[in-house]
């Protein structure tokens, strides 16, 4: 990445960062990127180790409110909801329809089901959403190991974005990645070294097949891994690999034609290879909330403990004649000389302005990422129903759908490329099967239990809904469990109760039924 311009996606974070310690081998853009990861992690965890607020007093114990955690946590509640995969027998976007066999579809279901269970992908996915929202970058990596037993050779796991550095053949076309690097510090003996893993496509000048005509099956990925001296790493011309057991000379990933790291960018922007945190731009608001609450805490302390004044001079101990301290507290009397005064400094009588200001800042922080009071759980859905609820919740739905599209796009590509790994490492050919990533966008609106219950009960009373329909709604939407034959028992009990209230009703019904039968028989005889 070229040297950063004055304005970077991380400029708003820099004034709030305490530490400036990063590796001297990276450029200014990546230095700010890695520092921002630390800042947003600390804001989320409410740990002021890497950020600060500007105090207006000499108080040494400022209060840090977990605003960032609440914003990210509320948004993460909806992003990627119900995420999973779906196996298709054919690619719906293909120009030529090639349909997979039932055996291939079943094999894909089994292979991906085992992979999801073994790698705990569902729980890992849910745990990774808050990290993605606060850091802005989410990276998944595929690896294979032929030394493992069959059925366990492929691994899929997230990796720390601090280690990730994409490579570009054209620095002005950052959307076209030609390679990937993972860079991390390692310790060999008592010395620190830089360990670099590199994967290159044939579109990168470092690949042996660069600028050659690509065959139908594609060019295989070139991988290498080398450890370098920390002192020489910053200067490319001085880099020389050191002896390390993890070093790997250039080798092809047999059968693999796609780069193994998959990058999901949050809040994508043009010509930027990285995503952006949902906390970006909110740093000053978070600091302002912390400052407000800290000022409120100081004010409450002064209101409770108080600050006093007197024109009588310091108190004197009657026994020793020495100046002593004032004795203030319950059941104590302060006595001063004639003509002297003793009083308490007047201060604020209410902290409501602090609370109002903090609440305003919180609402602004929430709305900046598409959250409303209903979204974060501080507003009641019963007070905002129908179109009002939809309007209040629509910014959240819009924000979540954009993020789900980013997730599904990258993860579907990863699932597609996994077919190569299954062939190479497990000997499983899934053919034209298509596996897509899916997240639930249709069930995000909060469930208004009270309003729905009222609707069902009024419908049953008016005769619009049958008892059977009402019971099915209560089972599916409310979670109630009814015993088998419940509807028939209730209807029979209702009929018995009606008959008991009107003992002649049943006899009248029987006589009317008999009359109808006689009329039908008479009409049949005449016709004959």
| Span 279-315, pLDDT tens digits | 877 776 666 666 666 665 656 655 555 567 777 778 8
Q: Would you say residue 351 lies in a domain? A: no
CB proximity list for 315: less than 8 A, separation 6 or greater: 323, 324, 325, 326, 327
Return the pLDDT at 56: 47
The 10s digit of each residue's pLDDT in 315-343 is 888 788 888 887 776 667 777 777 777 77
Give the C-alpha distances (Å, rounded to integers) separating 80 from 129, 159, 406: 8, 19, 10
Q: What is the CA radius of gyration of the chain?
A: 35
User: Strand, coil or helix: what is 407?
Assistant: helix
Structure tokens at 202: 């044939």
Q: Which of 344, 365, 393 is the last residue of a domain?
A: 344
Residue 138, pLDDT above cutoff 90? yes
The C-alpha atoms of residue 155 and residue 178 are separated, in whole angstroms, by: 23
Q: How many domains does the chain have?
A: 3
**Domain encompassing residue 257:** 138-276
- Together in a domain, 259 and 214: yes
Return the pLDDT at 375: 57
User: Strand, coil or helix: what is 463?
Assistant: coil
- Together in a domain, 236 and 160: yes
Residue 423, pLDDT above cutoff 70? yes
- Together in a domain, 221 and 320: no
The C-alpha atoms of residue 269 and residue 279 are separated, in whole angstroms, by: 15
Structure tokens at 235: 């200067």
Residue 416, pLDDT above cutoff 90? yes
Residue 58, pLDDT above cutoff 50? no
Structure tokens at 477: 């939407």
Return the pLDDT at 38: 82
The C-alpha atoms of residue 19 and residue 295 are separated, in whole angstroms, by: 25
Residue 57, pLDDT above cutoff 70? no
- Together in a domain, 269 and 332: no
Q: Which residue has the tokens 């304005």?
A: 7
Return the pLDDT at 225: 94
Choose between 23 and 516: higher pLDDT. Answer: 23
What's the pTM? Answer: 0.72
Return the pLDDT at 302: 56
* Range name among 109-123, 270-284, 421-435, 439-453 with the lowest pLDDT average: 439-453
Structure tokens at 72: 């990210």
Q: Would you say residue 372 lies in a domain? A: no
Pairing of β 342-344 and β 191-200: unpaired
Q: Does residue 396 contact residue 444 with C-beta atoms inside 8 Å?
A: yes
Return the pLDDT at 3: 43
Choose between 437 and 238: higher pLDDT. Answer: 437
- Together in a domain, 244 and 319: no
Q: Would you say residue 491 lies in a domain? A: yes
User: DSSP string of 98-157?
Assistant: -PPPHHHHHHHHHHHHHHHHHHTHHHHHHHHHHHHHHHSEEEEEEEE-TTSPTT--EEEE
Residue 85, pLDDT above cutoff 80? yes
- Together in a domain, 334 and 453: no
Q: Please report how many Cα atoms fall inside a 13 Å half-sphere around the Cα of residue 79, on the Cβ side.
A: 31
Choose between 422 and 470: higher pLDDT. Answer: 422
Q: Would you say residue 295 lies in a domain? A: no
Return the pLDDT at 417: 96
Return the pLDDT at 136: 92
User: Strand, coil or helix: what is 456?
Assistant: helix
* Range name among 270-284, 347-361, 469-483 with the lowest pLDDT average: 347-361
Q: Would you say residue 166 lies in a domain? A: yes
Q: Does residue 283 contact residue 68 with C-beta atoms inside 8 Å?
A: no
pLDDT (mean) for 375-397: 61
pLDDT (mean) for 345-357: 63
Q: What's the mean pLDDT when you consider all of the chain?
A: 79
Q: Would you say residue 502 lies in a domain? A: yes
Choose between 458 and 46: higher pLDDT. Answer: 458
Q: Which residue has the tokens 């050659």?
A: 212
- Together in a domain, 174 and 263: yes
- Together in a domain, 178 and 218: yes
Pairing of β 308-310 and β 342-344: antiparallel
* Range name among 30-44, 61-75, 391-405 with the lowest pLDDT average: 61-75
DSSP classification of residue 50: S
* Range name among 19-33, 96-110, 197-211, 396-410 with the lowest pLDDT average: 19-33
The C-alpha atoms of residue 164 and residue 141 are separated, in whole angstroms, by: 11
Return the pLDDT at 378: 54
Q: Would you say residue 462 lies in a domain? A: yes
User: DSSP string of 81-105?
Assistant: TT-EEEEESS-TT-SS--PPPHHHH
The C-alpha atoms of residue 223 and residue 261 are separated, in whole angstroms, by: 12
Residue 520, pLDDT above cutoff 90? no
Return the pLDDT at 364: 58
Return the pLDDT at 165: 94
Residue 203, pLDDT above cutoff 70? yes
The C-alpha atoms of residue 68 and residue 70 are separated, in whole angstroms, by: 5
Q: Does residue 378 contact residue 367 with C-beta atoms inside 8 Å?
A: no
Q: Does residue 256 contact residue 20 with C-beta atoms inside 8 Å?
A: no
Q: Give Dmax over CA atoms of the chain in angstroms.
A: 135
pLDDT (mean) for 430-442: 90
% of the chain at pLDDT higher than 90 = 32
Bridge partners of residue 184, in order along the sequence: 195
- Together in a domain, 158 and 220: yes
* Range name among 140-144, 421-425, 503-507 with the lowest pLDDT average: 503-507
Q: Which of 319, 344, 369 is the last residue of a domain?
A: 344
Our measurement of the distance from residue 141's CA atom to the centroid of its chain's CA atoms, rounded to an integer in Å, reads 19
Q: Would you say residue 51 lies in a domain? A: no
Residue 156, pLDDT above cutoff 60? yes
Q: Phi-psi region for residue 440, left (φ > 0), alpha (ψ -120 to 50) or beta?
A: beta
- Together in a domain, 317 and 249: no
Return the pLDDT at 86: 95
The C-alpha atoms of residue 413 and residue 434 are separated, in whole angstroms, by: 10
pLDDT (mean) for 56-73: 63
492: phi then psi, degrees, rounded to nearest 5? -65, -40
The 10s digit of each residue's pLDDT in 239-289 is 888 888 889 989 999 999 999 999 999 988 877 889 988 887 777 666 666
% of the chain at pLDDT higher than 70 = 71
Return the pLDDT at 511: 57
E-only strand ranges, 299-361: 308-310, 342-344
- Together in a domain, 148 and 271: yes
Q: Which of 231, 253, 276 is the last residue of a domain?
A: 276
Return the pLDDT at 519: 57
Let me know if 299 is exposed, middle or buried by CB neighbors in 10 A (0-12, 13-18, 19+). middle
Among 6-15, 23-32, 199-208, 372-381, top mean pLDDT goes to 199-208
Q: Does residue 124 contact residue 102 with C-beta atoms inside 8 Å?
A: no
Residue 92, pLDDT above cutoff 80? no
- Together in a domain, 325 and 210: no
Return the pLDDT at 88: 92
Q: Where does the pLDDT of residue 55 fall: very low under 50, low under 70, confident under 90, or very high at 90 and above? A: very low
Choose between 179 and 368: higher pLDDT. Answer: 179
């Amino acid at each position: 990445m070229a040297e950063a311009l004055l304005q970077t996606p991380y400029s708003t974070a820099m004034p709030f960062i305490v530490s400036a310690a990063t590796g001297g081998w990276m450029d200014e853009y990546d230095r700010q990127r890695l520092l921002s990861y630390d800042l947003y992690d600390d804001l989320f965890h409410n740990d002021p180790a890497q950020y600060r607020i500007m105090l207006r007093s000499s108080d040494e114990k400022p209060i840090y409110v977990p605003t960032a955690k609440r914003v990210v946590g509320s948004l993460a509640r909806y992003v990627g909801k119900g995420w999973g995969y779906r196996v298709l027998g054919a690619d719906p976007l293909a120009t030529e329809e090639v349909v997979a066999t039932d055996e291939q579809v079943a094999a894909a279901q089994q292979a991906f089901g085992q992979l999801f269970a073994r790698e705990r992908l569902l729980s890992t996915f849910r745990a990774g959403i808050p990290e993605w929202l606060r850091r802005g970058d989410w990276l998944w990596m595929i690896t294979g190991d032929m030394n493992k037993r069959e059925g366990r050779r492929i691994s899929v796991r997230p990796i720390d974005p601090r280690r990730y550095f994409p490579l570009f053949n054209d620095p002005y076309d950052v959307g076209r990645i030609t390679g990937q690097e993972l860079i991390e510090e390692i310790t060999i003996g008592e010395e620190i070294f830089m360990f670099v893993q590199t994967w290159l496509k044939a579109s990168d000048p470092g690949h042996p097949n660069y600028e050659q005509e690509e065959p139908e099956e594609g060019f295989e990925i070139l991988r290498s891994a080398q450890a370098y001296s920390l002192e020489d790493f910053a200067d490319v011309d001085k880099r020389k690999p050191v002896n390390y057991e993890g070093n790997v000379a250039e080798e092809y990933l047999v059968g693999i034609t796609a780069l193994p790291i998959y990058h999901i960018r949050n809040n994508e922007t043009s010509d930027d290879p990285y995503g952006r945190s949902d906390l970006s731009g909110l740093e000053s608001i978070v600091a302002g909330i912390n400052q407000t609450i800290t000022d409120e805490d100081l004010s409450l302390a002064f209101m409770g403990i108080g600050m006093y004044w007197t024109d009588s001079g310091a108190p004197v101990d009657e026994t020793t004649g020495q100046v002593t301290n004032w004795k203030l507290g319950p059941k104590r009397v302060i006595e001063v000389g004639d003509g002297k005064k003793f009083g308490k400094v007047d201060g604020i009588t209410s902290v409501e302005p602090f609370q109002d200001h903090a609440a305003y800042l919180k609402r602004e922080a929430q709305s900046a990422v598409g959250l409303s009071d209903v979204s974060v759980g501080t507003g009641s859905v019963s007070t905002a129903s129908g179109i009002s609820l939809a309007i209040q919740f629509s910014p959240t739905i819009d924000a979540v759908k954009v993020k789900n599209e980013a997730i599904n796009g990258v993860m579907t590509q990863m699932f597609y490329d996994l077919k190569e790994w299954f062939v190479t490492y497990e000997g499983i050919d899934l053919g034209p099967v298509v596996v897509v990533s899916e997240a639930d966008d249709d069930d995000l609106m909060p469930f208004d239990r009270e309003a729905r219950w009222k609707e069902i009960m009024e419908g049953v009373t008016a005769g619009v809904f049958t008892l059977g329909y009402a019971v099915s709604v209560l089972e599916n939407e409310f979670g109630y469990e009814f015993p088998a034959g419940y509807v028939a028992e209730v209807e029979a009990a209702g009929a018995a109760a009606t008959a008991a209230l009107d003992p002649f009703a049943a006899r009248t019904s029987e006589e009317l039924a008999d009359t109808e039968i006689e009329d039908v028989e008479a009409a049949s005889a005449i016709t004959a």
